[in-house]
Chains A and B, each alone.
Chain A
Amino acid sequence: MIRIIAFEAKMNPSVALPARRISDLLSSGLPARAKSKREAMDHPRTDPDQELVKRTQSGAAAAFDELVIKYTPRLYGLVYNMTSNHEDTNDLLQDIFAKAYKAIRGFRGKSSFYTWIHSIAVNMTLNFLKKRGRRFQLSLDDVDASVQNDKEFLELTATSSPVREADLSELQRRLNEAMMKLSEEHRAVVTMFHIQGMPHAEISKILRVSEGTVRSRLFYANRQLQNYLDEFRKNPVS
């Protein structure tokens, strides 16, 4: 690229870059960027849970308690939105932490604890859902009343007629039913991306698939959700 710039500058003096900029590009810019990238590779981002993990591995059960307290709300959201059943979520979450506690001695820190425990949670939930099949009942948690003050909810009720016309519990039921119509893998991606707000890269690490696979699953799931929610759009109050 530098060669091209130099060639163009020779041919056409108007495109010539100021000498300082070129020298910056040659001396500091690229090597600095490469250096920082190398440094980032040499010293990967430290895991914020590293200390707690090490203490747990050395036998301090209290350290694992701290990890449980820290990750319970987040993992609850993940499992609940994949199962749409509070009781199943509770049992699964207990099993997930029990499994993590047993396996933590073998955790070598190749990934962050966050990724590791999310992988356990997703895999166990997927296995559970495959065993459960289609015979289940929704057991939904109550929607927090503070949703009425949510900016996005207010925007939706202002712009979308079905959301405005349906009451909150009806909207919740329709959403969960639509989610349950997705395959387990698509539901997992939708939950992590749309509900939990995880980036594609993190989801790909957790599911051990490529980012492209994550994106394609999201695209496909969105199309399906559009179809499933079409009925809700046509008939907001059933």
Chain B
Amino acid sequence: MDEFNDSEIARLLRLKRYEQPPPGYFENFLHEFHRRQRDELLRQPLWRICLERAHSFITRLDVRPLASYPTAAAAVFVCAAIISLKIYQQPETARVALQSPPTLSLPANAEGELNLVAPVSMPILRTQPVRSFHESAQTHRAAPPRYVLDSVPVSYEPTFRF
């Protein structure tokens, strides 16, 4: 016989079925599998575990039937409604600024009283808002306009009126 024929090669190769792992290998394989799975799970970062859980949840939920045309159209409609509502709720800044007059007028007798009492003539300083009404209305829409009144020195205040 010159060489192994196909049948002999096939029979020789079939003998390799008798090569078997050590006794108890298959019994321990599952325990080893569980141990490796646990180790791998512990090594994973928390975000990856959460991601996998979420992915498995979505897969189990099977959201594909929900992703139909009417659902998509409804989703688009809802988004459009939300966006349009946001646009129409923009603050009306100009009206807020006009409602409160920008200058303050003192009573007619106030100037006279001051002139009588004060030893030195003190010009009445016109009160001005720290910021313009326009600015204020933009930043503090809900609150009323604020002013800072110039203070008058205590010594010049009239203590008694005759």
Interface residues of A (CB under 8 A from B): 58-59, 65, 68-69, 72-73, 76-77, 80-81, 86, 93-94, 97-98, 101, 105-106, 140-144, 146-147, 150, 152-153, 155-156, 159-161, 163, 171-172, 175-176, 190, 194-195, 197, 222, 225-226, 229-230, 233
Per the bound structure, the CA–CA distance linking A105 and B32 in Å amounts to: 23
Is B140 in the interface zone, CB < 8 Å from A? Answer: no
Per the bound structure, the CA–CA distance linking A9 and B20 in Å amounts to: 63
Residues of A within 8 A of B14 (CB): 152, 194-195, 197
Per the bound structure, the CA–CA distance linking A183 and B12 in Å amounts to: 19
Per the bound structure, the CA–CA distance linking A197 and B103 in Å amounts to: 102
Per the bound structure, the CA–CA distance linking A150 and B37 in Å amounts to: 39
Per the bound structure, the CA–CA distance linking A166 and B63 in Å amounts to: 64
Is B6 in the interface zone, CB < 8 Å from A? Answer: yes
Contact for A233 among B4, B13, B26, B56, CB less than 8 A: B4
Main SS class of interface, B: helix
Which are the 9 A-B pairs with shortest beta-carbon distances? A194-B13, A147-B18, A144-B18, A141-B19, A152-B11, A143-B18, A144-B20, A105-B59, A226-B3
A97 touches B33 (CB 8 A): yes
Residues of B within 8 A of A194 (CB): 9-10, 13-14
Residues of B within 8 A of A77 (CB): 17
Per the bound structure, the CA–CA distance linking A228 and B1 in Å amounts to: 16
Residues of B within 8 A of A81 (CB): 16, 19
Residues of B within 8 A of A68 (CB): 29-30, 33
Contact for B30 among A65, A147, A156, CB less than 8 A: A65
B36: nearest residue on chain A (CB-CB)?
A94
Contact for A225 among B9, B22, B25, CB less than 8 A: B9
A73 touches B18 (CB 8 A): no
B6: nearest residue on chain A (CB-CB)?
A222
Residues of A within 8 A of B33 (CB): 68, 94, 97-98
Is B48 in the interface zone, CB < 8 Å from A? Answer: no
B13: nearest residue on chain A (CB-CB)?
A194
Per the bound structure, the CA–CA distance linking A161 and B16 in Å amounts to: 19
B19 touches A143 (CB 8 A): yes
Given contacts A152-B11, A172-B16, A230-B3, 19 further A-B contacts (CB under 8 A): A80-B21, A105-B56, A140-B19, A141-B20, A156-B8, A156-B11, A156-B12, A156-B15, A159-B8, A161-B1, A172-B19, A175-B16, A176-B16, A194-B9, A195-B16, A197-B14, A225-B9, A233-B3, A233-B4
B29: nearest residue on chain A (CB-CB)?
A72
Per the bound structure, the CA–CA distance linking A236 and B4 in Å amounts to: 13
A97: nearest residue on chain B (CB-CB)?
B33
B13 touches A190 (CB 8 A): yes
Chain A: minimal CB distance from B35 (Å): 10
Is B60 in the interface zone, CB < 8 Å from A? Answer: yes
Per the bound structure, the CA–CA distance linking A73 and B20 in Å amounts to: 9
Residues of B within 8 A of A142 (CB): 19-20, 22
Per the bound structure, the CA–CA distance linking A190 and B12 in Å amounts to: 12
Residues of B within 8 A of A146 (CB): 18
Per the bound structure, the CA–CA distance linking A175 and B15 in Å amounts to: 10
CB<8 Å pairs between A and B, sample of 30: A69-B30, A72-B26, A72-B30, A76-B21, A77-B17, A93-B29, A97-B33, A98-B37, A105-B56, A106-B59, A140-B19, A142-B22, A143-B18, A143-B19, A144-B18, A146-B18, A147-B18, A156-B11, A171-B15, A172-B16, A175-B12, A190-B13, A194-B9, A194-B10, A195-B14, A195-B16, A225-B13, A226-B4, A226-B9, A233-B1
